[in-house]
C-alpha cells in the first residue's frame, strides 16, 4: 500500500513537472513566434497514408530549411509546424483549424487524398487560410483558398489516353477503366468516359470496373480484361489505389498479359510506390505524371542532390533508397512559389499573398519554367509518360512540348463545361457559370 | 534470300550465331574479300557481301538512337528472314542489348554480368566499355514480337513454331497472310496448323469475297475460343442508323451461330476457371484464417492481433529472403522453402510470449482480451514500422512461382496460386494430424472441451494453452508467408485480413477446423462465381449480407460440434 502511495506521489511530481515543462515550452514557442513566420504542414505521418505522405512532409521541411539558409522570407525565418492528422479525414479538418486558429500559420502545405482535401476545404474557406495541395487529383473543384500544384485531369489523364490512342502508344481502340471505389477514380473515369465518347469510342468498347479498398484478388478482373482485349488493341487505365496495385500487376504477369499487348497506364503509381515492389513483372507498363526522378536536366539534378543530402543529414529511414516523385516536386514548387509571392507582396497576409501568387514562376525540376495560373489557382505543368523499369525508375517515352494550362472544370462533362474558375480580382467565381463581383 | 548463300536451308534455320559470325567476318574484311574475289567467281561473292552488309547494317540500326529508325530496322529484319537476327532482337526486347562507343552491339546474359558481341559472337570485357542502352517502348516491343514470330515460324523445333504461331495470332495483320500460307503448307503439327488457320480466318473476315468470309467464320466456329467472340460480334455491329454493317444476312447468321457455339464450348471452361479462382481465393482465406481457427476457434481467445501474426510471418519471409540474397546468392531461389520453418517458429515464439505475458491473465474475460489484443496489434504494427519503415518491403517471387500454366485455351492458372493451394492442403493435413493423432492434440481437444476435467486428469492446462496459442500463431505465420507471394508486405498487411479471417471462422463454426476449411472454400468459390455477375464491390456486399443471413439462421456456424461440448 505504501509502495502504491509513493508511486502515486512520484507520478504527481512527474505530472507537475511535465505541465511546467509544457508551459515553459509554450512560452518559448510564443517568444520565438515574434521573429518567425509559421508554416503549417498537414500530412499524415501515421495510418494508411503515412506511406505516401511522410515524404511530402520531409521534402517540405527540406524546402523550408533551404529558404531559411538563404535568409528566410521578408527577413524572417520560416518555422514549420508539423501536425499529424493520422490518415483520419475528420481529423484533417480539426488539425487544419488548429493550424490556422491556434498556431496562426501564414500558409499550409498538405493533404494527399481527395477526401482529406474535401474535409479541410470548408475550414480554409471559413477562416480564410491558404492551402497548397500537391497531388494530382480529379479536378471539378476550385477554391479561393487553395492553390493546386498537382495535375488536373487534362494535365495527366487526358494526355495519357491520347498517347494510348496514338500509334506509338499502341493505337488502343478499347479501354478498361479500372479503379478503387472512391471519389478520385469515379470522377476521373467519368471525365474519361465523356472524353472517349468525344473521340468516337463506342460505349461497348469501354469496360469500367471498381474494386473495394485493399482488394487483393484480381483473378476474375484480369481474366475479364483478357477476354475483353481479344480482337482489338486494348489499354488499361488504372486508378487503383496504392496497395492494391501489386496484386493487380502480379496477376497480370502471371496470367501472361504483357505490357506490349495490353499496356496499363497508372495515375497513382510513382517512384515512391514502386519502392518495395518487385518491379520485374511491371516493366513496360506506364505511368503518367508531370515529373519523374529520371528526367535529365540540371534543375532536377540539383533537386535530387539536395534531397539525398537532406536524407543523409537527417538520417531519414530508407537512406540511400529514398527517391523523389511528382507530389514531392509539386510540394517543393509550392513552397518556393509561396515564398516568392510573400516577398513580392511584402507581407504574409493571406489576401495579399494570394493576389501575388498568380503569375509567379519557378524553375522546376521537371525542366520547365512553371507558372501559377492567376485565374484558376492551378499550375501550368508539362505532362510526361514513363515506362516502369526494372530498377523502379521510369523511362520517359512521351512528353508534351511545354507546360499545359490546367482545366479545373472538365470541358468534357456537360455539367461543368460552362463553369468558370476565375479568381482574378475583382472576380470571385470558382464554381459558377458567370463571374460575380 | 538466294544470295545469302553460304548456308544450306537446314543449317540456315538452326540459330547458330557461329555460322553468321564466320560469314560476317569474311564480308567485313574487305582485303580478304578482295583476295577471294580474285580467286573465286566474282558475282557470287559480291551479292553475298551486299546482302550481308545490308543485314549487318540493319542489325546495327537496332541500336540507333532514334526510335523510328529502330522500328524500321525491326520491320526490315522480320522481312529479311535471317534467323541470326533473333538473339539480337530478343536481347533488345528484354533490355539486354547494349551499344558500345564504337557502335557495336553487345548482348548481355540474363544476369547482365557477361556479354558478347552480337555480330562476331566474341565475348567482350564489360568493365572497360562505356555502354548505352537503346530506348524502346511498347510499340517497338510489339514490332519485335511480330518480327521474331515471323523468323521463328520456320524453325525446326515445333515448340518454337507453336509459340511463334501463338504470338502471331495475337498480332495478326493482313501482310502476314502470305507468310502464314507458306508456313501452313509445310506445317505438319495439327496444333500449329490450327493456329495458322485461325490467323488466316481472322484476316479472311475482312475479305471482300463472301465465300471467303463464310469459310473464315466456319473455321472460327470449329477452332476459335473466347478470344474470337469480340471479332465475331463486330460482324454483327450496327451503324448509327441501326443498319447492319455486314449487309449479307447469311454471314450474320453464321457469325451469331458461331458465337453461340463458342459460348457453349467455353461455358464449361469458364465455370472450371471460376472454380479454380474460387479455390485459390478460398485457400488464401483459409491460410489467413487457420491460425485464428485455433486461437479463437479452439481456445476462445478473441485475438485481434491475429492479423499481425500474418504480418510477422510475411516479414520473416522478407528477412530470410534478404539473408539468402546476402549470404547464399547461389541458392536464392530456395529462400521460400527455408522461410517456411522460420516464419512458423518465429510467429509461434511471438505468440507464446504474448500468451504467457498477457493473454493468459485474461482468460474468460473476452472484452478485456479484445482490447488487450487490439493494443498488441497496434504495438506490433508500430514496432515493424520503426524497424522496417512505413514502406512496403519487396518480397520477390522465385522464378518457379512466376508465370502460369495454360490449362485450357485462354485460361491460365498461375503457379503461385497452384502452389498456395497445395501448401494449404499440406498445412491443413498437418494440423489435422497434429490434433487427431498426437498426444498433444488429444490434450488440446480435452482442454478445449472441458478445462477442469482435463486439469483433473493431470493435463497441464497452462502448457497446453501455451502450445495451442503458439501453434495458432505459427500457422498464421505460414499464412503470412503465402500472402507475401501474392500481395504487398507492409506493416498494415494484417489489417486487411483480420475481418475476413473472423468471417471465415464464424461462418464455418467456432471450435472446428473442418468448419473453417468449409467456410473458407465456400466463401471463396461463392465470391468468384458472383464476381463476374455482380462486380467486385457489389459482390463483396452481397457476400456480407448472405453471411449475416446464414449466421442468423445458424448462429453456431455452418458446421458445429453438436452436444458434446460443455459450455461454461
**To 5 degrees, how large is the angle CA A63–CA A64–CA A68?**
120
3-state secondary structure B498-533: HHHHHHHHHHHCCCCHHHHHHHHHHHHHHHHHHHHH
Nearest neighbour of A275 by CB, restricted to B391, B404, B492 = B391
C-alpha span between B221 and B501 (Å, rounded): 45
Does B404 sit within 8 Å of A255, measured CB to CB? Answer: yes
For residue A254, give the nearest of B402, B336, B270 by alpha carbon: B402
CA distance B137 to chain A (A): 7
Interface contact flag, A167 B139, Cβ < 8 Å:
yes
Measured between alpha carbons, how far is A203 from B337 in angstroms, rounded to an integer? 48
A253 vs B7, more confident: A253
* Nearest C-alpha neighbor of B358 from the set B367, B348, B368, B347: B368
Residues B151, B14: contact at Cβ < 8 Å? no
Half-sphere exposure of A408 (CA within 13 A, CB side): 24
Distance from CA of A66 to the nearest CA of B (A): 26
pLDDT of res. B447:
87
pLDDT tens-digit readout, A183-195 = 889 999 999 999 9
Task: Give the pLDDT score at A2.
Answer: 43
User: Which structural domains are found in chain B, ordered by start?
Assistant: 9-153 (no CATH), 183-247 (no CATH), 272-398+412-553 (1.10.3470)
**Mutant choice from B137, B406, B480 vs A, greatest count of A C-beta within 10 A:** B137
How far away is chain B from the Cα of A44, in angstroms, using its nearest Cα?
12
Write down the pTM of the prediction.
0.80
> Distance (Å) from the C-alpha of residue A412 to the closest C-alpha of chain B?
22
Query: Chain B: residue nearest A227 by CA?
Result: B227
Single out the residue of B491, B483, B307 nearest to residue B389, CA to CA. B491
- Helix ranges, A108-203 (H): 114-127, 157-165, 183-198
Name the nearest CA neighbour of B84 among B113, B52, B106. Answer: B52
**Cα B15 from Cα A344, distance rounded (Å):** 70
B536 to A210: CB separation less than 8 angstroms, yes or no:
yes
Name the β-bridge partners of A77. A36
Cα separation, A30 vs A45, whole angstroms: 25
Do B534 and A220 form a contact (C-beta atoms < 8 A)?
no
Q: Please say whether the beta carbons of A413 and A421 come within 8 A.
A: no
Inter-residue contact A155 to A149 (CB < 8 Å): no
Give the three-state DSSP class for A287. strand
Return the SS3 of B406. Answer: strand
Across A217-235, average pLDDT: 88
Is A254 in Cβ contact with B404 (below 8 Å)?
Answer: yes
Query: Who's near A5: CB < 8 A, 6+ residues apart?
Result: none
* Chain centroid, CA A67 distance in Å: 22
Which residues from chain A sit within 8 angstroms of residue B414, using beta carbons? 251, 254-255
Query: Please, are residues A133 and A146 in contact by the beta-carbon 8 Å criterion?
Result: yes
How many helices and strands, by DSSP H and E, does chain A display?
A: 13, 16
Report the b/e string of B116-132 with b at 16+ CB within 10 A: bbbbbbeebeeeebeee
Give the nearest chain B residue to A263 (CA atoms).
B138
Reduced to 3 states (helix: H, G, I; strand: E, B; else coil), residue A99 is: helix
Contacts of B95 in chain A (CB under 8 A): 283, 390
CA distances from A252 to B108, B136, B299, B413, B548 (A): 27, 21, 40, 12, 33
Instruction: Return residues 474-513 of B near A (CB < 8 Å).
Output: 486-490, 492, 496
Pairing of strands A264-266, A174-180: unpaired
The reported pLDDT for the residue numbered B6 is 42
Which residues in chain A are contacts of B537 at CB distance < 8 A? 181, 210-212
Question: φ, ψ for residue A291 (rounded to 5)?
Answer: -155, 140
Arithmetic mean of pLDDT over chain A:
87
Interchain proximity B230–A230, CB inside 8 Å: yes
Residue by residue, pLDDT tens for chain B (568 residues) are: 333 444 444 444 444 444 444 444 444 455 555 555 455 555 555 555 666 788 888 888 888 888 888 888 888 888 888 888 888 888 888 888 888 888 888 888 877 788 888 888 888 888 777 888 888 888 888 888 888 888 888 888 888 888 888 888 877 677 788 888 888 888 888 888 888 888 888 888 777 788 888 888 888 888 877 778 777 887 777 777 777 777 778 888 888 888 888 888 888 888 888 899 999 999 989 988 998 988 887 888 888 999 999 999 999 999 999 999 889 888 888 999 999 999 999 999 999 999 999 988 988 888 899 999 999 999 999 889 888 877 778 888 888 888 888 777 667 888 988 999 999 999 999 999 998 899 989 998 888 888 888 889 888 888 899 999 999 999 999 999 999 988 888 888 888 889 889 989 888 887 778 889 999 999 999 998 988 888 888 888 898 899 899 888 888 887 766 544 444 4
Q: Grid coordinates standing for A96?
A: 487544419
CA-to-CA distance for A173 and A164, rounded, in angstroms? Answer: 9
Query: A278, B394: Cβ pair inside 8 Å?
Result: yes
Question: A369 φ, ψ to 5°?
Answer: -80, 115
Which pLDDT score, from 0 to 100, does residue A34 have?
Answer: 53
pLDDT class of A95 with cuts at 50, 70, 90:
very high
Contact: A231, B537; criterion CB under 8 Å:
no
- Decide: B216 and B205 in contact? Cβ < 8 Å: yes
Residues pairing with A228 in the sheet: none
In angstroms, the CA A33 to CA A39 distance is 11
Q: B274 at the A interface (CB within 8 A)?
A: yes
Mutation choice for B interface testing from A260, A280, A281 by most B CBs within 10 A = A260
Distance CA B547, CA B237 (A): 42
Three-state DSSP class for residue B48: helix
CB proximity B229 to A under 8 Å: yes
Q: Which of A230, A246, A261 sits opposite B488 (nearest CB)?
A: A246
B246 touches chain A (CB under 8 A): no
Q: Which of B487, B500, B527, B544 is the best mutation test for A, with the most CBs of A within 10 A?
A: B487
Pairwise CB contact (< 8 Å): B537 & A212: yes
Q: φ, ψ for residue A234 (rounded to 5)?
A: -125, 145
Answer whether A51 sits within 8 Å of B391, measured CB to CB.
Answer: yes
Residues comprising chain B, all counted: 568
How many whole angstroms separate alpha carbon B286 and alpha carbon B429? 13
E-state strands within B429-495: none
On whether the CB atoms of residues B24 and B117 are closer than 8 A, the answer is no
Contacts of B494 in chain A (CB under 8 A): none
Edge-to-edge strand list for the sheet holding A131-133: A77-83, A36-42, A107-110, A131-133, A146-148
Residue A350 has pLDDT above 80, yes or no: yes
The pLDDT of residue B25: 43
- Cβ–Cβ of A223/B411 closer than 8 Å? yes
CB pair distance less than 8 Å for A217 and B284: yes
Nearest to B392 among A170, A277, A281 (CB): A277
- DSSP per residue, A351-418: HHHHHHHTT-EEE-TTSSEEEB-TTTSBB-B--EEEEE-TTS-EEEEEE-SS-B---SS-TTSHHHHT
Q: Pick from A211, A255, A395: which is nearest to B537 by CB?
A: A211
The verdict on a CB contact (< 8 Å) between A223 and B142 is: no
The shortest C-alpha distance from A170 to chain B (Å) reads 6
B520: contact with A, CB 8 A cutoff = no
Find the residue in B nearest to A385 (Cα): B137
Check pLDDT > 60 for residue A29.
Answer: no
**Residue that has been written with the C-alpha cell 566474282 in this structure:** B42
Cα–Cα distance between B342 and B481 in angstroms, integer? 10
Burial, A162: exposed, middle or buried (Cβ in 10 Å; 0-12, 13-18, 19+)? middle
Torsion of CA A118, A124, A125, A128, to 10 degrees: -170
- Residue A357, all three cell numbers: 501568387
CA nearest to B389 within chain A: A317
Q: Determine the residue of chain A that is closest to B143 in CA distance.
A: A260
Distance separating alpha carbons of residues A404 and A374, to the nearest angstrom: 14
Distances (CA, A) of B372 to B352, B359, B361: 15, 8, 11
Could you please report the per-residue DSSP string of A92-114? HHHHHHIIIIIS--SEEEE--SH
Q: Strand, coil or helix: what is A339? A: helix
Residue in chain B lying closest to A322 (CA):
B391
**A132/A333 Cα distance (integer angstroms):** 10
Q: For this complex, say whether ipTM is above 0.85.
A: no
Contact B334, B340 (CB under 8 A): no
Which of A2-11, A83-92, B357-366, B541-550 is least confident?
A2-11
- 3-class secondary-structure state, position A175: strand
Amino acid at each position: 500500500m505504501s509502495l502504491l502511495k509513493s508511486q502515486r506521489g512520484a507520478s504527481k511530481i512527474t505530472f507537475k513537472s511535465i505541465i511546467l515543462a509544457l508551459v515553459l515550452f509554450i512560452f518559448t514557442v510564443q517568444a520565438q513566434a515574434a521573429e518567425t513566420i509559421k508554416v503549417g504542414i498537414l500530412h499524415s505521418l501515421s495510418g494508411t497514408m503515412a506511406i505516401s505522405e511522410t515524404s511530402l512532409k520531409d521534402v517540405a521541411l527540406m524546402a523550408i530549411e533551404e529558404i531559411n539558409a538563404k535568409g528566410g522570407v521578408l527577413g524572417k525565418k520560416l518555422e514549420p509546424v508539423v501536425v499529424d492528422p493520422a490518415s483520419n479525414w475528420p481529423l484533417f479538418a480539426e488539425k487544419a483549424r488548429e493550424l490556422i486558429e491556434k498556431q496562426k500559420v501564414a500558409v499550409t502545405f498538405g493533404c494527399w487524398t481527395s477526401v482529406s482535401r474535401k474535409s479541410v476545404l470548408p475550414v480554409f474557406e471559413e477562416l480564410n487560410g491558404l492551402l497548397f495541395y500537391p497531388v494530382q487529383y480529379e479536378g471539378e473543384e476550385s477554391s479561393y483558398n487553395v492553390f493546386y500544384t498537382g495535375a488536373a485531369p487534362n494535365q495527366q489523364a487526358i494526355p495519357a489516353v491520347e498517347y494510348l490512342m496514338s500509334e506509338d502508344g499502341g493505337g488502343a481502340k478499347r479501354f478498361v477503366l479500372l479503379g478503387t471505389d472512391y471519389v478520385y477514380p469515379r470522377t476521373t473515369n467519368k471525365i474519361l468516359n465523356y472524353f472517349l465518347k468525344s473521340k468516337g469510342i463506342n460505349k461497348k468498347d469501354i469496360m469500367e470496373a471498381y474494386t473495394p479498398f485493399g482488394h487483393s484478388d484480381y483473378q476474375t478482373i484480369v481474366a475479364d480484361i483478357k477476354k475483353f482485349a481479344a480482337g482489338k488493341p486494348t489499354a488499361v487505365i488504372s486508378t487503383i489505389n496504392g496497395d492494391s496495385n501489386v496484386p493487380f500487376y502480379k496477376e497480370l504477369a502471371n496470367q501472361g498479359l504483357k505490357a506490349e499487348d495490353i499496356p496499363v497506364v497508372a495515375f497513382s503509381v510513382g517512384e515512391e510506390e514502386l519502392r518495395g515492389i518487385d518491379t520485374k513483372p511491371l516493366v513496360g507498363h506506364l505511368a503518367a505524371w508531370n515529373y519523374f526522378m529520371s528526367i535529365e536536366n540540371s534543375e532536377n539534378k540539383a533537386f535530387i542532390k539536395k534531397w539525398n543530402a537532406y536524407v543523409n543529414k537527417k538520417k531519414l529511414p530508407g537512406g540511400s533508397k529514398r527517391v523523389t516523385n511528382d507530389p514531392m516536386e509539386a510540394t517543393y514548387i509550392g513552397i518556393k512559389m509561396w515564398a516568392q509571392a510573400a516577398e513580392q507582396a511584402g507581407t504574409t497576409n493571406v489576401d495579399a499573398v494570394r493576389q501575388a501568387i498568380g503569375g509567379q514562376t519557378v524553375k522546376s525540376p521537371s525542366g520547365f519554367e512553371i507558372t501559377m495560373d492567376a485565374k484558376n489557382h492551378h499550375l501550368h505543368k508539362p505532362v510526361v509518360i514513363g515506362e516502369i523499369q526494372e530498377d523502379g525508375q521510369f523511362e520517359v517515352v512521351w512528353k508534351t512540348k511545354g507546360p499545359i494550362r490546367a482545366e479545373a472544370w472538365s470541358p468534357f462533362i456537360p455539367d461543368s463545361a460552362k463553369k468558370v474558375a476565375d479568381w482574378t480580382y475583382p472576380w470571385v467565381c470558382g464554381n459558377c457559370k458567370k463571374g460575380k463581383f | 534470300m538466294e544470295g545469302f548463300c553460304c548456308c544450306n536451308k537446314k543449317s540456315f534455320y538452326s540459330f547458330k550465331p557461329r555460322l553468321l559470325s564466320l560469314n560476317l567476318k569474311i564480308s567485313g574484311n574487305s582485303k580478304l574479300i578482295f583476295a577471294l574475289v580474285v580467286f573465286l567467281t566474282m558475282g557470287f561473292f559480291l551479292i553475298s557481301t551486299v546482302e550481308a552488309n545490308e543485314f549487318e547494317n540493319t542489325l546495327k540500326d537496332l541500336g540507333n538512337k532514334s526510335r523510328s529508325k529502330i522500328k524500321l530496322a525491326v520491320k526490315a529484319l522480320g522481312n529479311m528472314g535471317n534467323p541470326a537476327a533473333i538473339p539480337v532482337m530478343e536481347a533488345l526486347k528484354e533490355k539486354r542489348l547494349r551499344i558500345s562507343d564504337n557502335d557495336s552491339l553487345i548482348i548481355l546474359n540474363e544476369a547482365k554480368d557477361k556479354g558478347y558481341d552480337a555480330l562476331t559472337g566474341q565475348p567482350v570485357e564489360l568493365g572497360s566499355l562505356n555502354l548505352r542502352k537503346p530506348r524502346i517502348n511498347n510499340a517497338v516491343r510489339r514490332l519485335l514480337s511480330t518480327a521474331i514470330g515471323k523468323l521463328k515460324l520456320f524453325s525446326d523445333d515445333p515448340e518454337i513454331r507453336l509459340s511463334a504461331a501463338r504470338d502471331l495470332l495475337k498480332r495478326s495483320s493482313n501482310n502476314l497472310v502470305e507468310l502464314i500460307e507458306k508456313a501452313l503448307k509445310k506445317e505438319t503439327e495439327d496444333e500449329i496448323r490450327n493456329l495458322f488457320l485461325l490467323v488466316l480466318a481472322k484476316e479472311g473476315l475482312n475479305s471482300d469475297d463472301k465465300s471467303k468470309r463464310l469459310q473464315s467464320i466456319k473455321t472460327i466456329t470449329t477452332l476459335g475460343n473466347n478470344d474470337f467472340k469480340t471479332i465475331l460480334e463486330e460482324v454483327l455491329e450496327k451503324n448509327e442508323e441501326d443498319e447492319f454493317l455486314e449487309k449479307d444476312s447469311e454471314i450474320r447468321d453464321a457469325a451469331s451461330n458461331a458465337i453461340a457455339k463458342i459460348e457453349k464450348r467455353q461455358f464449361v471452361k469458364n465455370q472450371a476457371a471460376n472454380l479454380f479462382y474460387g479455390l485459390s481465393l478460398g485457400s488464401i482465406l483459409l491460410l489467413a484464417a487457420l491460425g485464428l481457427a485455433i486461437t479463437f476457434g479452439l481456445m476462445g481467445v478473441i485475438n485481434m492481433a491475429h492479423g499481425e501474426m500474418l504480418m510477422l510471418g510475411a516479414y520473416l519471409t522478407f528477412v530470410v529472403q534478404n539473408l539468402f540474397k546476402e549470404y547464399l546468392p547461389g541458392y536464392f531461389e530456395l529462400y521460400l522453402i527455408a522461410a517456411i520453418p522460420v516464419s512458423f517458429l518465429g510467429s509461434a515464439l511471438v505468440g507464446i510470449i504474448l500468451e504467457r505475458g498477457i493473454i493468459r491473465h485474461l482468460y474468460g474475460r473476452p472484452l478485456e482480451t479484445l482490447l488487450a489484443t487490439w493494443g498488441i496489434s497496434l504495438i506490433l504494427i508500430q514496432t515493424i514500422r520503426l524497424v522496417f519503415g512505413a514502406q512496403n518491403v519487396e518480397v520477390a517471387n522465385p522464378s518457379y512461382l512466376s508465370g502460369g500454366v495454360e490449362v485450357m485455351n485462354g485460361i491460365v492458372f498461375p503457379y503461385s496460386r497452384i502452389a498456395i493451394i497445395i501448401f494449404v492442403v499440406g498445412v491443413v493435413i498437418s494440423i489435422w494430424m497434429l490434433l487427431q493423432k498426437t498426444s498433444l492434440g488429444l490434450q488440446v481437444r480435452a482442454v478445449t472441451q472441458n478445462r477442469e476435467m482435463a486439469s483433473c486428469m493431470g493435463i497441464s492446462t497452462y502448457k497446453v494453452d501455451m502450445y495451442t496459442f503458439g501453434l495458432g500463431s505459427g500457422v498464421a505465420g505460414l499464412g503470412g508467408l503465402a500472402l507475401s507471394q501474392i500481395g504487398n508486405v507492409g506493416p498494415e498487411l494484417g489489417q486487411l485480413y483480420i475481418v475476413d479471417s473472423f468471417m471465415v471462422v464464424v461462418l464455418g463454426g467456432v471450435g472446428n477446423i473442418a468448419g473453417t476449411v468449409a467456410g473458407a472454400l465456400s466463401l471463396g468459390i461463392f465470391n468468384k462465381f458472383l464476381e463476374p455477375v455482380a462486380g467486385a464491390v457489389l459482390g463483396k456486399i452481397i457476400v456480407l449480407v448472405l453471411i449475416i443471413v446464414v449466421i442468423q439462421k445458424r448462429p453456431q456456424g455452418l458446421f458445429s460440434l453438436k452436444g458434446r461440448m460443455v459450455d461454461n
